[in-house]
Structure 1
Amino acid sequence: MSDNTTLTDVIMPQLAESLVSATIGKWLKQPGDPIEQYEPICELITDKVNAELPATVDGTMAELLAEEGQTVSVGEIIARIAVAGAAPAAPAAAAPPQAGGSSASAASGTAPQAHSAAARPSAPAPAVDAAAPMRSRYSPAVQSLAAEHGINLAAVPGTGLGGRITRKDVLAFLTSGAAAQPAATAPPAAAPPQAAAPIQPPVQVAQPEREELQPVRHSGLHLSESPKIPTIEVERGRDGMSEYLIDVTPIRNTIATRMRQSVSEIPHAWTMIEVDVTNLVVLRNKLKDEFKRKEGINLTYLAFLMKAVVSAIKDYPIMNSVWAVDKIIVKRDINISLAVGTEDSVMTPVIQKADQKNIAGLAREIDELALKTREGKLRLDDMQGGTFTVNNTGSFGSILSYPIINYPQAAILTFESIVKKPVVINDMIAVRSMANICLSLDHRILDGVISGRFLQRVKDNVEGYTPDTKLY
């Protein structure tokens, strides 16, 4: 190391008041690698969310003081960065990252431009676009999907952190039909390390055609997305047996603890009601195309259901409460926890003060939180303060479910798949779009009468939608 080079300590940050340690999931930089300010250097795993730790200086990775998989206490040094021709910089912990992503200034894309060329390290820059430092870093899921469909990842636009290509980017590229174009039209770039030989991509079927082929059923959210498949890390089998060993991550351990706590401490009861959503289906079909053009997101059934639930909670505020041994605490703010499934877990990000939002606002919140969850960009603030949980189990075809309460809340509601059925109306048979709504409740707080009335109010609100209902 030259005389004008200084070492900057990278400190384990405190991601939240309740967290005293975090686990090094993966080092994204190795000794000798050049580093730009705000570029992620490692992945941190906590018992709530995963986060990427960004660098606060330009330089070169000097040494790693913590190993992958090691749990490090807050304030300990985990690495050192060599900075050329600069005074000693503040520790990296001075700007803790937002969970699941880089700092706010990195997200804005303006802070890196504030550095002069003289502040850059003397080490050679990586052979990628400077505006997208993570462009050529592919996850195993992305590589596998690209190899399966013969996609050149160099032609896929990346929307992830630092231009990183996500699985959703590959699926969108595949759906657009761009993958079927000749490979010569793609810009030259190195192929992914583990890409297999190109395979003839399958013929893509447009979504409207799928709906015409299946007019009887509709599964609600994410109908056009491929199902998420868990990633299994294979270590080795024991005694020659066909076994897979999967490490229990901090997030999975937290899920297991909370589920066990919920089932053991809360006396669960559940009830179900059938709802006629024919008018809702007509309303959504009428508005979804215009809403897509105006807002750029899909208008889902879940937004309408959530509005109906929030309105019902206003009428029955005891549903928005928690058990406190010698008293019941009723929450004034209605903060709806949204259950979102990822490849290896279920997260419950929170829509704060959902009672103050209209249907369009709820749709935007749902889309944003679902996207952040699946891309691993949730912040700790996104996970806190929930008072009632809503889950769309109908998105994967379920017609009846018994959900476990999101501890310590008093209830959880699931919206099942929409199915066309023959229904008797005024002694005549009619074909209607029907769906089940299931409610699990804490029987210490809620009884059958109040829960039944609440569920009936949700039903009335859902069936009360008309073609004249406004989104804004």
Structure 2
Amino acid sequence: MATEIRVPTLGESVTEATIGRWFKKVGDAIAADEPIVELETDKVTVEVPAPAAGTLSEIAAKEGETVEVGALLGAIGEGKAAAGKADGKNEDKEEKREMREKAETSGSAGGKLVEVTVPSAGESVTEAQVGEIYKKVGDAVKADEPILELETDKAAQEVMAPVAGVLREIAVKSGEEVKIGALLARIEEGAAAGGTPAEPSAGRSDTGKAEEAREADSTRPPSPAAAKLMKEHGLKTSDVEGTGKQGQVLKGDVLETIERGRAAPGEPAEAPKAARSPSAGEDEAREERVKMTRLRQTIARRLKDAQNTAAMLTTFNEVDMTAVMELRKKYKDLFEKKHEVKLGFMGFFTKAVCHALKELPAVNAEIDGTDIIYKNYCHIGVAVGTDRGLVVPVVRDADRMTIAEIEKEIGRLGKAARDGKLSMAEMQGGTFTISNGGVYGSLMSTPILNAPQSGILGMHKIQERPMVVGGEIKIRPMMYLALSYDHRIVDGKEAVTFLVRVKEVLEDPERLVLDL
């Protein structure tokens, strides 16, 4: 009897996913718990393991197709083919193991060969791309010295040498796709450089090597995409000003250099062109068409669905930040010394939001069909900008936490988001979201709801403006606040009152202490 493969529960508020890719095809043997298909949601990418061993007999959903939770993905049937293929895999593994053992024992007298493999890059990451390779065959390496760089869809990481010795083999090339656990290189432990001559690089002089070494010491090597584009246009690293981390040259830097018309060495500069009307063909030649990732397509679809489903409306207010800024200035050093975390604005805003949500529970609720679910807890989502886009980790039970605990948790989640190490559990279950566009200089915006939540607060830039205080015009640090809400569940009066409560607490922080 066939065993069905269905879309698993992907967490609260996640009702659908996109088929990323199938790791198997019909007729392939499958072991129990072996990953067979990858699903992409707007939050994370997950692998679906096989519920049983056998042969993949059916694929019901194709790559790129959107499926709901519980939908049929495929089926696994029983058969001798599965066992036969599994035996073949076991034989291959055994053969590879024997080859590795032979390789280790066949090393020179300096010591055994130690393998360097692709490390685990975090949950849901199954492969990476080889970036810059810092060493070449024959080079001496120290323990914990970077050998090469790996790039995933979440972050870039350097692979360190597990032991000291001499690099005897590099099994990959820059730009190559590798899976977790794949062989990258072999190091002869304890050997000294020069014992075995290094393999020369074809067509590369000693002078060129020295020049590249100097460049590598001063800045990070160009990204693989940038290096490929530089090679195609005859550019050197010194020709391009890098804007990446530690001066790394990125693809955009190379494109900008080419746009400025900087000629490659040895090529004559292009003469100025006569003025003429723009040509569609010329414009197209200067354009770059890049296919959206499935993850970005899912985010775009869900944001549009939120607009189409919710009766979304935004109301505004402004808050005088004088009291919070003075309180922060007065106690920030003592706060950091005691709690080992900096005192920012997010702690105050999160506590102010929790204070208002208790008074106006509709803003903290959600609609489920014809029911309204009121949440008697405050799980506050905090929007964090990363290289891959905006993610929203959740500070759970923020209403039960102190400002210091909130600041610590936001700091931890923000670092995990930027490093690409957020788990699905850390992005689930939010009841309300705070988005701080002010850190990017935004003066006012209308944030989009994070469905199925009914409210999102937008913070903005603190701007000094003339205000009338006690009949006198004074300069005050002011911030616009924006609350986007679902008008199906939150009335205008409740939305305006919510913002007023947040404003009152921030302009008079003692209310937090007295619970007023």
CA distance in 2, matches of 1:254, 1:279: 42
CA distance in 2, matches of 1:186, 1:293: 41
CA distance in 2, matches of 1:133, 1:428: 62
8 Å Cα contact 2:505-2:512 kept in structure 1: no
Structure 2 SS opposite 1:390: strand
TM-score, length basis structure 1 = 0.57
Hey, what does 1:46 align to over in structure 2? 40
TM-score, length basis structure 2 = 0.53
In structure 2, give the amino acid aligned to 1:389. T
CA distance in 1, matches of 2:17, 2:121: 14
More strand by share: 2
Q: Which has the higher contact order (CA 8 A, sep 6+)?
A: 1
CA distance in 2, matches of 1:283, 1:306: 16
Q: CA deviation at 1:450?
A: 1.0
Number of aligned residue pairs: give it. 331
CA distance in 2, matches of 1:394, 1:337: 17
- Among 192, 212, 218, which residue is 2:221 paired with? 192
8 Å Cα contact 1:388-1:410 kept in structure 2: yes
Hey, what does 1:84 align to over in structure 2? 97
Q: CA deviation at 1:444?
A: 0.5
8 Å Cα contact 2:450-2:456 kept in structure 1: yes
Query: Is 1:358 equivalent to 2:388 in the alignment?
Result: no
Hey, what does 2:123 align to over in structure 1? 99
Distance 1:14-1:406 versus aligned 2 partners, 3 A rule:
closer
Hey, what does 1:329 align to over in structure 2? 373
Hey, what does 1:421 align to over in structure 2? 465
Distance 1:192-1:309 versus aligned 2 partners, 3 A rule:
same
Cα RMSD over matched residues?
A: 5.1
Hey, what does 1:454 align to over in structure 2? 498
Hey, what does 1:249 align to over in structure 2? 293
CA distance in 2, matches of 1:264, 1:231: 35
8 Å Cα contact 2:240-2:253 kept in structure 1: no
Hey, what does 1:430 align to over in structure 2? 474
Query: Is 1:440 equivalent to 2:481 in the alignment?
Result: no
Cα deviation, 1:68-94, whole Å, max 9, x if unaligned, reads xx88989999x98675259xxxxxxxx
- Among 399, 415, 436, which residue is 1:392 paired with? 436
8 Å Cα contact 1:401-1:438 kept in structure 2: yes
CA distance in 2, matches of 1:333, 1:313: 9
Hey, what does 2:354 align to over in structure 1? 310
8 Å Cα contact 2:154-2:388 kept in structure 1: no
- Among 278, 281, 284, which residue is 2:322 paired with? 278
Distance 1:24-1:301 versus aligned 2 partners, 3 A rule:
farther
Q: CA deviation at 1:452?
A: 1.2
Larger Rg: 2
Structure 1 SS opposite 2:474: strand
CA distance in 1, matches of 2:124, 2:141: 23
Distance 1:386-1:100 versus aligned 2 partners, 3 A rule:
same
Cα deviation, 1:149-200, whole Å, max 9, x if unaligned, reads xxxxxxxxxxxx99xxxxxxxxxxxxxxxxxxxxx99998997364823999
Hey, what does 1:367 align to over in structure 2? 411
User: Structure 2: where are the runs of 5+ without partners?
Assistant: 1-6, 24-37, 48-62, 66-72, 77-84, 100-119, 127-136, 157-179, 182-212, 228-235, 256-279
CA distance in 1, matches of 2:74, 2:378: 33
- Among 301, 304, 307, which residue is 1:263 paired with? 307
Distance 1:132-1:306 versus aligned 2 partners, 3 A rule:
farther
Q: CA deviation at 1:320?
A: 0.7
8 Å Cα contact 1:308-1:458 kept in structure 2: yes
Cα deviation, 1:198-230, whole Å, max 9, x if unaligned, reads 99999xxxxxxxxxxxxxxxxxxxxxxx9xx99
CA distance in 2, matches of 1:201, 1:256: 31
8 Å Cα contact 2:393-2:427 kept in structure 1: yes
Q: CA deviation at 1:137?
A: 3.8
8 Å Cα contact 1:405-1:412 kept in structure 2: yes
Structure 2 SS opposite 1:84: helix
Hey, what does 1:154 align to over in structure 2? none
Q: CA deviation at 1:99?
A: 2.9
* % identity of equivalent residues: 29
8 Å Cα contact 2:18-2:40 kept in structure 1: no
In structure 2, give the amino acid aligned to 1:84. R
8 Å Cα contact 2:310-2:486 kept in structure 1: yes
Q: CA deviation at 1:254?
A: 1.6
User: Structure 1: where are the runs of 5+ without partners?
Assistant: 1-12, 26-43, 54-69, 87-95, 103-123, 144-160, 163-183, 203-225
Hey, what does 1:179 align to over in structure 2? none
8 Å Cα contact 1:420-1:433 kept in structure 2: yes
Structure 2 SS opposite 1:398: coil
8 Å Cα contact 2:40-2:294 kept in structure 1: yes
In structure 2, give the amino acid aligned to 1:47. T
CA distance in 2, matches of 1:24, 1:448: 48
Q: CA deviation at 1:140?
A: 12
Q: Structure 2 matches for 1:42-81, cutoff 5 A? A: 46-49=40-43
8 Å Cα contact 1:138-1:192 kept in structure 2: no
Quick check: 14-23 or 385-394, which moved more?
14-23
Q: Structure 2 matches for 1:105-120, cutoff 5 A? A: none
Hey, what does 2:392 align to over in structure 1? 348
Cα deviation, 1:450-472, whole Å, max 9, x if unaligned, reads 111111111111112269979xx
Distance 1:386-1:468 versus aligned 2 partners, 3 A rule:
closer
Q: CA deviation at 1:311?
A: 1.3
Distance 1:141-1:338 versus aligned 2 partners, 3 A rule:
closer
Hey, what does 1:320 align to over in structure 2? 364
Structure 1 SS opposite 2:237: coil
Q: CA deviation at 1:342?
A: 2.1
Structure 2 SS opposite 1:298: coil
In structure 2, give the amino acid aligned to 1:444. R
8 Å Cα contact 1:405-1:441 kept in structure 2: yes
Q: CA deviation at 1:136?
A: 3.8
Q: CA deviation at 1:402?
A: 0.8
CA distance in 2, matches of 1:21, 1:140: 17
Q: CA deviation at 1:47?
A: 2.5
